[in-house]
Amino acid sequence: MLLYNSLTRKREEFVPNEPGKVSMYTCGPTVYHFAHIGNLRSYIMEDVLEKYLRYTGLDVTRVMNITDVGHLTSDADTGEDKMLKGAKREKKTVMEIAKFYTDAFFADCEKLNIKRPDVVAPATGCIDSFIEVITSLLDKGYAYEAGGNIYFDTSKLSTYYVFNDFNEDDLAVGVREGVEADGNKRNKADFVLWFTKSKFDDQELKWDSPWGVGYPGWHIECSCISMKHLGEYLDLHCGGIDNAFPHHTNEIAQSEAYVGHKWCNYWFHVHHLNTTGGKMSKSKGEFLTVSLLESKGYDPLVYRLFCLQSHYRKSLVFSYENLDNTVIAYNKIIQKIVPMLDAAKSESVDEAAAQALRKGFCDALDNDLNTSLAVTALYDVLKAKTNAATKLALIAEYDTVLGLDLIAHAEAEKKKKAAPTLAIPDADPALVSEVMALIEERKNAKKAKDFATADRIRNELAARGILLIDTPQGTTFTLES
Ligand code: AMP
Ligand code: ZN
């Protein structure tokens, strides 16, 4: 499989360190609020990558952290802790906020068919390993203490800006964010590994450490959690493109300083989902969540298809108009599958035909995870000149990667179609809606064992020449001629 590697800025053949096995790390959510559908775009595309690697026969172990401490509102180590901000907003403790939004995140993932990683590790559960790695970085001379905090010394590295060739001044976080530089830092790009002093000293969660009571910086958690569960050689690291700098740059700096060799071979970055107004936000404009989409009647899997229709390395603009087009596309796919369900029962799979079609699907995903072409390969199956059994087998197979629950939805649609519908007389719409409302009232009266009301409704309608007919599907009526 060819995969674009942000580290080399090239598409490269993906070759794991150990044949047949893949170690995969994903930056998890900061659990101070619901995930927006932009965050979830990243997780959907990473999920497709994981599932495709598994589809090709690789044994993937995937680890994800949960950021429940240390992620500041600014990249420059100067902002408030996002978790504390969330706790203040909701007048709860940080751990209550973390539990609530971690559960909410995985509930969203389930609705979007995003597989739970093999290991999910909250940062607050790994403080000992952070302290161990920071101690070693201090011993090796890659870190220093200043003003009560421990900083990573980026001047000790031959290359720090691994993901970009830009000018150092443009990237240095203090400059980039327009915030005052931290006077404790020896170099502009240095970053905090451990805080004991910050402008915001009412941090709720603090731990004892050799450098005083404090809390970890954000970047150290991903290095430590990854190395703890996946070892010193990582195959694949994923995240949204905003994480490339400074978060992933800092992860590489501290991990490689710690292990003394190259740490991770492939970096997979998903580009952003934007709104028509620009950057997606949790505080400004409409806060786009999975629940919001559901409340507007969208199936979360339609949003998954919306994401699959674009390449992960292109930014994507969300609009309801585009989502509505995806609803139409999704329903069309389902409608095409419905008649295959019965037809396939008496047929057997034509392996030669399946093999030829399968090639289109694999070629698409082998080419830097081109999910939009993989969806086209699905359409190719729908219109292929082969029998229904072969098509259904391929659809089920592709769906282990695409995760659109196509066959289950088609089964549900088939059941819906099979259910007999109630025939309503072709009459004046105002009269139909009046009678249907009275039929509903009568039904409720019967349910409440208020048979007097039920009979009164029937008799009053009969007196007007409207005769009720009870059927197994419900009650309808006819007009006396
Ligand atoms: P956070 O919860 O802020 O730590 O972000 C969780 C993940 O979502 C990270 O991998 C981010 O890089 C990613 N992310 C943030 N904003 C967007 C966006 N608009 N589109 C896609 N991914 C995003
Ligand atoms: Zn991370």
**Ligand positioned closest to the Cα atom of 71:** 1
Atom of ligand 1 nearest to the CA of 26: 10
Spatial CB neighbours of 356, under 8 Å, sequence gap ≥ 6: none
Q: What pLDDT is stored for residue 99 in this prediction?
A: 96
Cα(189) to ligand 1 centroid in Å equals: 22
**Ligand positioned closest to the Cα atom of 315:** 1
CA–CA gap between residue 468 and residue 446 (Å, rounded): 14
Q: What pLDDT is stored for residue 180 in this prediction?
A: 59
Q: Is the pLDDT of residue 176 over 80?
A: no
pLDDT digits (tens, 9 = 90+) for 290-302: 999 999 999 999 9
Confidence of residue 7 (pLDDT cuts 50, 70, 90): very high
Kindly state the average pLDDT of the residues 267-277. 95
pLDDT digits (tens, 9 = 90+) for 177-190: 545 578 899 998 99
Q: For residues 79 and 177, which has the higher predicted lDDT (pLDDT)?
A: 79
Q: Best substitution site from 30, 32, 39 to test ligand 1's pocket, by max atoms within 8 Å of Cβ?
A: 39
Q: What pLDDT is stored for residue 175 in this prediction?
A: 46
CA–CA gap between residue 269 and residue 246 (Å, rounded): 13
Residues, Cβ < 5 Å to ion ligand 2:
27, 222
> How does DSSP classify residue 466?
E
* Residue 240 Cβ contacting ligand 1 at under 6 Å: yes
Helices (H), 270-402: 290-295, 300-308, 320-343, 351-366, 371-382, 388-402
Q: Can you tell me which residue has the tokens 């002093």?
A: 197
Kindly state the average pLDDT of the residues 50-76. 90
Nearest-10 crossing angle of helices 300-308, 94-111:
70
**Ligand positioned closest to the Cα atom of 273:** 1
Q: For residues 420 and 155, which has the higher predicted lDDT (pLDDT)?
A: 155
Spatial CB neighbours of 88, under 8 Å, sequence gap ≥ 6: none
Question: What are the C-alpha distances in Å from 248 to residues 220, 222, 266, 269, 421?
Answer: 10, 9, 12, 10, 57
Kindly state the average pLDDT of the residues 194-222. 87
> How does DSSP classify residue 423?
P
* Residue 224 Cβ contacting ligand 1 at under 6 Å: no
Confidence of residue 166 (pLDDT cuts 50, 70, 90): low
Confidence of residue 172 (pLDDT cuts 50, 70, 90): low
Q: Is the pLDDT of residue 399 over 80?
A: yes
Cα(247) to ligand 2 centroid in Å equals: 6
pLDDT digits (tens, 9 = 90+) for 379-397: 999 999 999 999 999 999 9
Cβ atoms of 1 and 366 within 8 Å: the answer is yes
Q: Is the pLDDT of residue 420 over 80?
A: no
Q: DSSP for 248-287?
A: IHHHHHHHHHHHSS--EEEEEEEPPEEETTEE--SSSS--
Q: What pLDDT is stored for residue 81 in this prediction?
A: 82
Q: Point out which residues pair with 41 in neighbouring strands.
A: none
CA–CA gap between residue 366 and residue 219 (Å, rounded): 31
pLDDT digits (tens, 9 = 90+) for 331-371: 999 999 999 999 999 999 999 999 999 999 999 999 999 99
Least confident of 121-125, 231-235, 279-283, 340-344: 279-283
Q: How many helices (DSSP H) and strands (DSSP E) are in the chain?
A: 17, 16
Q: Is the pLDDT of residue 403 over 50?
A: yes
DSSP SS3 for 356: helix
* Residue 86 Cβ contacting ligand 1 at under 6 Å: no
Cα(10) to ligand 2 centroid in Å equals: 22
- Mean residue pLDDT of the chain comes to 93
* Residue 273 Cβ contacting ligand 1 at under 6 Å: yes
CA–CA gap between residue 396 and residue 391 (Å, rounded): 9
Atom 14 of ligand 1: nearest residue by CA position: 39
**Ligand positioned closest to the Cα atom of 41:** 1
CA–CA gap between residue 140 and residue 163 (Å, rounded): 25
* Residue 239 Cβ contacting ligand 1 at under 6 Å: yes
Kindly state the average pLDDT of the residues 146-151. 94
Confidence of residue 424 (pLDDT cuts 50, 70, 90): confident
Q: Is the pLDDT of residue 168 over 70?
A: no
pLDDT digits (tens, 9 = 90+) for 25-51: 999 999 999 999 999 999 999 999 999
Confidence of residue 412 (pLDDT cuts 50, 70, 90): very high
Q: Is the pLDDT of residue 285 over 90?
A: no
DSSP SS3 for 122: strand
Least confident of 72-76, 141-145, 361-365: 72-76
Other beta carbons less than 10 A from residue 164's beta carbon: 13
Side chain identity, residue 332: K
Q: Is the pLDDT of residue 315 over 90?
A: yes
Global pTM reads: 0.87
Q: Can you tell me which residue has the tokens 């072409």?
A: 373
Q: Is the pLDDT of residue 80 over 80?
A: no
